[in-house]
Structure 1
Amino acid sequence: MNIRLFSYFVTLVIKSRMEYRGAFTIGVVGQVVGYAANYLVIWLLLQNFNTIQGWDWTEIAFLYSLNLLTYAIGASFTYTPMVGLDQIIVNGNFDMYLTKPLSPFLYFLANLFNIGYIAHILISSVVLIWSISQADITWTLYKAIYLLLAIISGSLLQAAGLIVIGSLSFIFLRVQYLFSIFFKLKEFIAYPISVYGTLLQIILTWIIPLAMINYYPSLYIFEDSLLTNKILGITALVIGPLSLYLAYRFWMYGANKYQGAGG
């Protein structure tokens, strides 16, 4: 399946969802309000402590928004298909994705694209732009390009995490608890990982590199003087594409081993 055909399938999914505009609008408003409450909690916390490990409200808002925006972009393509994959396999419905003259991976993602994440994108983009305008950042063309690449890489890394867990459905069938663990881990990057112990920082940087989504890119944009953080900021741009490629290969490995609902 090429990009043009993939886009066509996504467009069809969006049109089908927009047939129920009232329900869609209510869902978007509800999610915006929910995430606005999360921002409010962080803001109230900063009113009492002023800074967290030297990060003020605008910097924390940038950090949180970068996490939420990249998650929304990556999850719009991967959350619904990967979370539902175990049930699709059990019901025997996965076979339909293997009997078409299309890439089963891209067809699977396109067919279950979730436009509902537009709410996440809206609120995170607004707060991200606001935090950029308020934070003490010296912007250059190079830094603007870096931010764009960081958003792309972070989105790919978020998607890769969901794909890897979803792929385990081919082996263990039931993996919903792993998604719960994944989202619990993601809560740690809502704040600078420097507030945690060394062991957890190592895990979030090198083992499950969630800090590459927002923490190290933020340090790079805020011009942290530590050379290690600058190197990790550049590394963050590579981790996303590499993780997605490995996740894709793992998914295809599982799909090739798939032998049917009773396999």
Structure 2
Amino acid sequence: MILHHIRVIPLLVRMFIRSQMEYRGAFWLDRFAQILSYGSVFATISILLSRFDTLGGWTWSELALLYSFQLLAYSLGAAMSFTQLRDLEEQVRLGTYDALLVKPFSPWVYLIFSGLNIGYAGHIILALPLMAWAILSVDFAWTLPAALFFVAALLSATLLTAALITMIGATALIWVRSNHLFSIFFGFWELMRYPLNIFPGPIQLTLLTAVPLALTSSVPVGALLGKPIPILGPLAAPASLLAGPLWALLAMAYWRYANSKYQGAGG
């Protein structure tokens, strides 16, 4: 069964990419619009730092590293989950999800890889050069362990992003409606363009527990740069590395639970 999945996955991805690239001009125009949109956010941070030398003790180059880290981790994780899980609500409502349950294939694998979102290319195109510039500009002595931690933390943040989106989307299998939860998710996600320590204590706690998006940005980057991390303190680095795998396991368990509660289009 596993070998069957592995053989089919590249076919699903290839078919979806071909469908997305049918109108290449429109595709790349959308990516350009994404770059302008997220670039304007970075410009806003730049204007803010032009009035104040630091923000919560973070300098301009450190904030650039934080923003690019958050954007890259999100784009990689969301490409594997967001559009697919956002559309799950409509499939549940219309009853088309039932067709996935009778396929000789994992519903989750089919859902994810038949809709792998290459539209996040715009995010990645912006994030990578910005991250490269920030790595060269930040006042930090890079070592091999630091570089390995950075890569591992980025992978963990990617897993955590995908896990949270998966859990939100899977809720549609129980409640039918779940997309309103994405509004809450993105509301908190936008806060994580900034250091965790500038927010009040209750928000800090929320961003480390119930909606642990701080672990996809300011916690790992802050731990790398030696910044004080609220609440976690010296546990920030190990928490950054463990968060992704642990939440991925939790998302897998929740997906199975949600599927067991699914009653089909007829209720």
* TM-score, scaled relative to structure 1: 0.95
Is 1:43 paired with 2:46? yes
d(CA) in 2 for partners of 1:184 and 1:153?
A: 21
Q: CA RMSD in A?
A: 1.7
Tell me which amino acid in the other structure corresponds to 2:50. Q
* 2: CA distance, partners of 1:4 / 1:66: 32
Residue 261 of structure 1 corresponds to which residue in structure 2? Answer: 265
User: Which AA in structure 2 matches 1:127?
Assistant: L
Deviation at residue 4 of structure 1 after TM alignment? 4.6
Say whether residues 1:69 and 2:72 are aligned partners. yes
* Counterpart-to-counterpart distance in 2, 1:57 and 1:233: 22
Q: Is the 8 A contact 2:196 2:229 kept in 1?
A: no
* CA–CA distance in structure 1, aligned partners of residues 213 and 57 of structure 2: 21
* Aligned residues of 2:71 and 2:127 also touching (Cα < 8 A): yes
Matched residue, 2:83: 80
Q: How does 1:70-219 map to 2 (within 5 A)?
A: 70-219=73-222
> Are residues 69 and 4 of structure 1, via their aligned partners in 2, closer, same or farther at CA, if it must alter by over 3 Å?
farther
**Alpha-carbon distance, 1:16 to partner:** 2.1
Unpaired runs of 5+ residues, structure 1, are: none
Aligned pair in 2 of structure 1 residues 152, 7: CA closer, same or farther (>3 Å)? farther
Matched residue type, 1:54 = G
Task: Map Cα deviations across residues 2-59 of structure 1 (whole Å, 9 max, x no partner).
Answer: 4453233223211221222111111111111111111101101110112111101111
Q: Report if the CA contact (8 A) 1:58-1:131 is conserved.
A: yes
- Tell me, yes or no, if the aligned pair for 2:197 and 2:204 is still in contact at 8 Å: yes
Look up the match of 1:239: 243
Q: What is the percent sequence identity of the aligned residues?
A: 36
Could you tell me whether the CA contact under 8 Å between 1:193 and 1:211 is conserved in 2?
Answer: yes
What is the distance in 1 between the residues matched to 2:124 and 2:29?
Answer: 16
Query: What does the per-residue CA deviation read over 1:84-124, in whole Å, with 9 as the maximum and x for residues that have no partner?
Result: 11111111110221111111111111112111001111101
Q: Distance between the aligned counterparts of 2:173 and 2:34, measured in 1?
A: 31
Q: Which amino acid aligns with 2:124?
A: I
Deviations 1:150-189 (A, max 9, x none): 1111011111111111111012111222110110011221
**Structure 1 consecutive aligned stretches of length 4 or more whose deviation exceeds 4 Å:** 225-228
Work out the CA distance in 1 between the residues paired with 2:18 and 2:151: 28
Distance 2:101 2:244 in 1: 27
The one-letter code of the counterpart of 1:206 is T
**In the alignment, which of 233, 251, 254 is matched to residue 255 of structure 2?**
251
User: Shift of the alpha carbon at 1:251?
Assistant: 1.4
Q: TM-score, normalised by structure 2?
A: 0.93
Q: CA deviation at 1:200?
A: 1.4
The one-letter amino acid of 1:91's match is L
Match of 1:27 among 6, 12, 30: 30
Once the two structures are TM-superposed, the CA of residue 226 in structure 1 deviates from its matched residue by: 7.3
Alpha-carbon separation, structure 1, partners of 2:39 and 2:188: 21
Structure 2 counterpart of 1:18, from 21, 24, 42: 21
Supply the AA of the counterpart residue of 2:260.
N
Indicate how the Cα distance of structure 1 residues 46 and 126 shifts in structure 2: closer, same or farther if over 3 A, else same: same
Whole-angstrom distance in 2 between the partners of 1:248 and 1:31: 31
In structure 2, runs of 5+ residues without a counterpart are none
Is the contact made by 2:207 and 2:213 (CA closer than 8 Å) also made in structure 1? Answer: yes
Q: Distance in 2 between matches of 1:4 and 1:197?
A: 49
User: What amino acid maps onto 2:61 in structure 1?
Assistant: T
